[in-house]
Chains A and B, each alone.
Chain A
Amino acid sequence: MSIDWITVAAQIANFLVLVWLLKRFLYRPILDGIDAREVEIRDRMQEAVLAKEQARAVEKAYQDKVHALNVAQSEMTETIRKSAEEQRDVLLADAQKRLEREHDALKTHLDDEAQKYTAKMHRAGAGALLSLTRKALRDLADETLEVRIAHRLVEQAKPMVPDLQRAAGQATEAVITSQSSLPDLVEEELTSELRGAFPEVAVRFGTDEAQAPGLVLRVGGAQLAWTVDSYIDGLACLIEEQLTAGNDLRVKSHEQ
C-alpha cells in the first residue's frame, strides 16, 4: 500500500477534466433541457390559468346575457299578456255590444211580427165575426148587420144628445164614416134619426178602409163610435183563456 504522487496528480487532473467533460456534455444539456421544459410547463400553466380566467369571463358574460334575455323575455311575455288581455276585453265588449244589438233587432223584429200577426188576427177575427154575425142575423132575424149597427149607434146616441150638442157647438155638419159604403136604407134611417137630434146639422157619409168595421159619428169636437174592436179584443181574450186552459189540461193529462 503506497501512494504514487505522480499518479495522484494525474488523477486530480483527470478528475478535473472529467468534471469539465461531464459539465459540457452531460449536465448542461440535461439541465438546460429540464429548465426549458420547466419554463415550457410554467408557460403552459400560465396559459392554462389565463385561458381559465378567460373562460370564466366568457362564462360570466354568457350568464349575464342569458339573465338579460330571461328578463327581456319575461317583460315581453308580460307585455304580450297585457296586450292580449286588453284585446280580449275589447273583443268581448264588441261581441257583447253586437249581441245586444242583434238581440234588440231580433226583439224588434219579433215585436213587429207579433204586431203584424195580432193585426192579421184582428182582421181575420173581425171578418169572421162580422160574417158569422151577419149570417146569424139574416138567418134568425132576417136583418142585416149594418141596420143593427145603425140602430145600436142611434140607441147609444139618444141618452147622450145633450152632451153631444154641447160638444158639437156651432158645427153645421155631422160626418158618419164606415169601412165600406152603407146601404141607402141605413143611410136614410141614420139621417132621419140625426136630424131629430140635430136639426141644424147636415149629415154626410164617408168611407175609411183603415177604420175597424162599424160606424163613427163626428160632430164638431164630439165623436161617438161603435166598432167591432171591443168585440175582437174580447174574442182574443176569450181565445187566449181557452188556449191557456187547453194547455193546462194537456199538462195535467201528461202529468197523469
Chain B
Amino acid sequence: MNLSPDQTIMFQAWGVPINATIFYTWVVMALLTVSAILITRNLRPDVPPNRWRTMLEVIVQGIEAQIEEVAGRRERHLLYYVGTLFLFVAMSNLLLVVPGFEPPTASLSTTTALALSVLIAVPLFGITSRGLGGYLKTYLEPSFIMLPFNIISEFSRGISLAIRLYGNIMSGAVIAAILLGVAPFFFPVVMDVLGLLTGLIQAYIFAILATVYISSATATPPNTEKENP
C-alpha cells in the first residue's frame, strides 16, 4: 500500500517519470482552466450573466470578501494567489470521490510545495508592501531579542500548514482504503462524504491561514501612521 501518490509512476515523458501527484495536479489544473475558459468565454457586458457565470462571480466575490475581512482591505494580487490556493486545494479534495483519483493534496510533496509557496509569498508581499527594510524590521519587533523566535515562527507556520493539510487528506484517503478492504460497501461511502467535508474545510483553513500570514506581513504598522493633531 502506497501512502503517497509520489511513488506511483503514471508514465514517462521524454525519459522523465511522471508520478501520480504531478499527473493529477495537471488534471486539476486542466479542469480548473478549461472550466474557467468555458464559463468566461462569452463574458461580455452586453451578454446577461448565466448561472455558471453567476456561480463563478459568487465564488470570486466570496473569496474577495473573505480576504477583505481578514486583511482589512481589497487586494487583487492576494486574491489571485489565495483564490488559486483555495480552488486548487478544494478541487483536489472534492475529486477524492472520483474512483481511481488520487488527490495531489494527499501527497506531502504537494502540501510542502504549497506551504513553501506561502513561505515565499509572505516576504514577497511584505517587501512589496512595506519595502525591504520595513519588512525585515518586523522580525525585530517588539525587540531584537525576538529575532530567532520570529524566524522559527515563520518556518513553523509553513511546516504546520503542510503537515495539517497533508495529514487530513492523506488520512482520509488511507482510512477510506482500509475500510474498503474491511467493509467494501457502506463505510467507504460515509468516509468519502466526510472526506468531502473535511477537504473543503481544509481548503478554507489553508487559504485563510495563508491570507492571515500574508496580510500580517503587508499590514501597515500602527506606529508608522501619522497621528492627526
Chain A contact residues, CB within 8 Å of chain B: 1-5, 7-12, 14-19, 21-23, 25-27, 29-34, 36-37, 40
Please determine whether A16 and B60 come into contact, CB atoms closer than 8 angstroms. Answer: no
Closest to B170 in A: A1
Please determine whether B109 and A21 come into contact, CB atoms closer than 8 angstroms. Answer: no
The tally of residues in B whose CB lies under 8 Å from a CB in A reads 41
Q: Which 4 A-B residue pairs are closest in the complex by CB-CB distance? A: A11-B113, A26-B36, A7-B109, A29-B40
Known: A3-B112, A7-B109, A23-B80. A30 touches B117 (CB 8 A): no
Please determine whether B25 and A14 come into contact, CB atoms closer than 8 angstroms. Answer: yes
CB-defined contacts of A37 to chain B, threshold 8 Å: 45
Please determine whether B32 and A22 come into contact, CB atoms closer than 8 angstroms. Answer: yes
Q: A8 to B162: give the CA distance in the assembly, Å.
A: 12
Among B4, B83, B84, B107, the residue within 8 A (CB) of A15 is B84
CB-defined contacts of A23 to chain B, threshold 8 Å: 80, 84
Among B4, B22, B25, B87, the residue within 8 A (CB) of A22 is B87
Beyond the given A7-B107, A25-B37, please list 20 additional residue pairs across the A-B interface where CB-CB is below 8 A: A2-B6, A4-B19, A4-B109, A7-B22, A10-B113, A11-B22, A11-B109, A14-B25, A14-B26, A22-B32, A22-B36, A22-B84, A23-B84, A27-B60, A27-B83, A30-B57, A31-B60, A31-B79, A37-B45, A40-B45
Q: A124 to B108: give the CA distance in the assembly, Å.
A: 162
Q: A184 to B109: give the CA distance in the assembly, Å.
A: 187
Task: Give 12 pairs: A residue, B residue, CB < 8 Å, sorted on A.
Answer: A2-B4, A7-B109, A7-B110, A7-B113, A15-B84, A16-B117, A17-B29, A18-B88, A19-B81, A21-B36, A25-B40, A27-B60
User: B18 CB to closest chain A CB, in angstroms?
Assistant: 9
Known: A21-B29, A30-B56. A10 touches B114 (CB 8 A): no
Q: A36 to B45: give the CA distance in the assembly, Å.
A: 7
Chain B contact residues, CB within 8 Å of chain A: 3-4, 6, 19, 21-22, 25-26, 29, 32-33, 36-37, 40, 43, 45, 49, 53, 56-57, 60-61, 76, 79-81, 83-85, 87-88, 104, 107-110, 112-114, 116-117
Among B25, B43, B87, the residue within 8 A (CB) of A30 is B43
CB-defined contacts of A30 to chain B, threshold 8 Å: 40, 43, 53, 56-57, 60
Main secondary structure of the interface of B (DSSP, over half): helix
Known: A2-B4, A7-B21, A8-B116. A22 touches B33 (CB 8 A): yes
Q: A206 to B124: give the CA distance in the assembly, Å.
A: 164
CB-defined contacts of B33 to chain A, threshold 8 Å: 18, 21-22, 25
Among B6, B49, B87, the residue within 8 A (CB) of A4 is B6
Among A4, A12, A26, the residue within 8 A (CB) of B60 is A26
CB-defined contacts of A7 to chain B, threshold 8 Å: 6, 19, 21-22, 107, 109-110, 113
CB-defined contacts of B83 to chain A, threshold 8 Å: 22, 27
User: A2 CB to closest chain B CB, in angstroms?
Assistant: 7
Most B CB atoms within 10 A — which of A11, A12, A23, A29?
A11
CB-defined contacts of B26 to chain A, threshold 8 Å: 14
